C-alpha cells in the first residue's frame, strides 16, 4: 500500500542529479517543484538555481515549473530562470503533469519530475507515469500543514529505505 508513495529515486539535492547522464539515457523534459526543492520556501531563484537552469538548457532539456502556489510566487522565481510554469497545479492530481508534458512535447518515457514532497510531488508524478526524484527539503522551517505531512513521510521513507536494502 505504501509503495504508491515511493519515489523512483531518493537523492540529497536537485543540484546533485546527473542530468547529463539522464539526457544520454533519452530524457528530454524535467518538471520541477520550487519550494524546498530548488530554494527555501518563498525565496527567489538564487545563483545556484539560475546556473542549474542555464546548464539544463545548454544540455538540451525543456523544463516546466509545476507548483501548487499562486502565480505571483511562481512568477517571482521564474523571472530569473526563464522557463514555462504552471501554478495552482493541484498536485497530486495528474492534469497539470500531463499539461506540462504537452507544453514540452515530451511523454512519460522521457520526462522526469523533481520535488521534495511524497504526498503531492512524488505521488502525482507516479500517478501520471513519470519517473520521480524525491529530494531532501532544503529548509526545515515550513508551514504547519507541511510539517504535519513530514511526520507521515518519515514513516513511508522508513519502509521505502528498508525495502531498498
All domains of the chain in start order, with CATH: 2-164 (3.40.50.1000)
Query: Is-above-0.75 flag for pTM?
Result: yes
Buried b (16+ CB within 10 A) or exposed e, 89-119: bebbebebbeebbebbebeeebbbbbbbbbb
Q: What is residue 34's predicted lDDT score, i.e. its pLDDT? A: 97
| pLDDT per position as a tens digit, 47-100 | 999 999 999 999 999 999 999 999 999 999 999 999 999 999 999 999 999 999
Amino acid at each position: 500500500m505504501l509503495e504508491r508513495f515511493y519515489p523512483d529515486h531518493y537523492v540529497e539535492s536537485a543540484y546533485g542529479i546527473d542530468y547529463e547522464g539522464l539526457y544520454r539515457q533519452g530524457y528530454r523534459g524535467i518538471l520541477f517543484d520550487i519550494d524546498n526543492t530548488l530554494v527555501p520556501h518563498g525565496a527567489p531563484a538564487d545563483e545556484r538555481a539560475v546556473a542549474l537552469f542555464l546548464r539544463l538548457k545548454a544540455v538540451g532539456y525543456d523544463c516546466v515549473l509545476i507548483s501548487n502556489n499562486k502565480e505571483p510566487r511562481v512568477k517571482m522565481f521564474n523571472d530569473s530562470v526563464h522557463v514555462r510554469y504552471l501554478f495552482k497545479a493541484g498536485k497530486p492530481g495528474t492534469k497539470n503533469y500531463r499539461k506540462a508534458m504537452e507544453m514540452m512535447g515530451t511523454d512519460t518515457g522521457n520526462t522526469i519530475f523533481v520535488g521534495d514532497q511524497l504526498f503531492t510531488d512524488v505521488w502525482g508524478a507516479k500517478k501520471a507515469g513519470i519517473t520521480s526524484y524525491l529530494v531532501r527539503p532544503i529548509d526545515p522551517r515550513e508551514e504547519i500543514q507541511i510539517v504535519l505531512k513530514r511526520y507521515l513521510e518519515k514513516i513511508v521513507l522508513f519502509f521505502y529505505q528498508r525495502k531498498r536494502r
